[in-house]
Copies of this chain bind each other. A is one copy, B any other.
Amino acid sequence: MGHSIADIAKALGAEAAGDLSVVVTGAAEPASATADHLALAMDPKYADGIGKGSAVAALLWQGADWQALGLKAAIFAPRGRLAMAGLSRMLDAGPVIADGIHAMALVDPSAQIGEGAAIAPFVVIGAGVVIGPNARIASHVSIAEGARIGADALILQGARIGARVVIGDRFICQPGAVIGADGFSFVTPEKSGVEEIRETLGKRDGVTAQSWTRIHSLGAVSIGDDVEIGANACIDRGTIRDTAIGDGTKLDNLVHIGHNVQVGQDCLLCGQVGVAGSSRIGNRVVLAGQCGVNDNIFVGDDVIAGGATKIFTNAPAGRVLLGYPAVKMETHLEMQKALRRLPRWMKTASQGPDKT
């Protein structure tokens, strides 16, 4: 399926120049682009590549001299990655799922499936499920009893939606994600070692052998509009109230959200982030890959945490964090700089101040 330069520019709300009737069928890096591709060169450093490839049209940085680059047509992207968002949406055919409900899908008669659904083979949809219009559900997905999902959902292969989970509109779920497993919540008959240590910060009396009794999860999971969940990510049910994910929040692959956690709106939780039970994450929080958030704490609005930051205590709004344990980013950098100097410093200092 081809798109003219005129159509692409219009869709992106971008300016264009040259022969706007040129048609492209895909996008490519400049050096590997063919004549059917729109070359992507949103920064002058990619200009050289255009001559190496065969593209006749390109997405260029603002103010580029497209004619000098030998092109027939160009679109200008003042904010390149934003243009990529629009362009990639136009060019993404999306997964192939045949319209209608496949003969090998099992949909409970009491389920309500909206108009325009495409439901692939080996899907199981339980009693009382309600799914909005235009759902696309890939193979091997299960949606358990009583779950409710809004309009325009895209749920990919083998994702698991648990009983009574509620999800808003425009939901995207990558393969293998598990939404609504039981929370990890256990208690011992007598005080456990963990409870003792929380009180004493490390001191322990005699240890008693005890087994764990399970606290069942009676809550579900509530997810807002425009949420995306990554491959093999897990969101546990709440104990009494629902675990909740706010509108516009995106979770990457292998993210773990414990029971009762409340995540706000427009957050990004990158690959392998873990949030322990009952913690609250504000709005627009960004946690880079492998971050960890302790249980029962609060992470304020607009907090940003660098890769593998381990947040043990409440974090005020707007704070930029790094380290294990997490501290302000500039504090972390100072501490690490000092630590790097420390071995030599100790050697020098131990010779005595008189000898330096």
Asked if residues B256 and A88 are in contact (CB atoms below 8 Å), the reply is no
Known pairs A256-B253, A335-B340; A211 contacts B236 (CB<8 A): no
CB proximity to B under 8 Å, residues A126-143: 126-127, 138-140, 142
Contact residue among B79, B81, B210, B258 (Cβ-Cβ distance under 8 Å from A284) = B210
Instruction: State the CA gap A138–B182 with chains docked (Å).
Output: 14
Asked if residues B214 and A89 are in contact (CB atoms below 8 Å), the reply is yes
In the bound complex, residues from chain B placing their C-beta under 8 Å from that of A202 are 320, 328-330, 333
Instruction: Across the interface, name the chain B residue whose C-beta is closest to A252.
Output: B184
Known pairs A29-B240, A202-B320; A178 contacts B140 (CB<8 A): no
Query: Copy number in this complex?
Result: 3
Known pairs A144-B95, A256-B271, A318-B204; A215 contacts B292 (CB<8 A): no
Asked if residues B216 and A234 are in contact (CB atoms below 8 Å), the reply is no
How many A residues face the partner with a CB closer than 8 A? 134
Q: List 5 A-B contacts (CB under 8 A).
A: A85-B216, A91-B218, A201-B333, A289-B295, A292-B308
Which residues does A use to contact B, with CB under 8 Å? Answer: 26-29, 32, 40, 79, 81-82, 84-86, 88-89, 91-92, 95-96, 104, 106, 120-122, 124, 126-127, 138-140, 142, 144-145, 156-158, 160, 162-163, 172, 174-176, 178, 181-182, 184, 186-189, 192-194, 197, 201-202, 204, 207, 209-218, 226, 228, 230-232, 234, 236, 239-241, 248, 250, 252-254, 256, 258, 266, 268, 270-272, 274, 276, 283-284, 286, 288-290, 292, 294-295, 301-302, 304, 307-308, 310, 312, 318, 320, 323-325, 327-331, 333-343, 345-346, 349, 352-353
Taking A95-B163, A176-B176, A276-B289 as given, write out 11 further A-B residue pairs in contact, using a Cβ cutoff of 8 Å, ordered by the A residue number: A29-B241, A120-B124, A121-B124, A142-B158, A162-B175, A178-B232, A193-B284, A210-B266, A234-B253, A254-B256, A339-B342
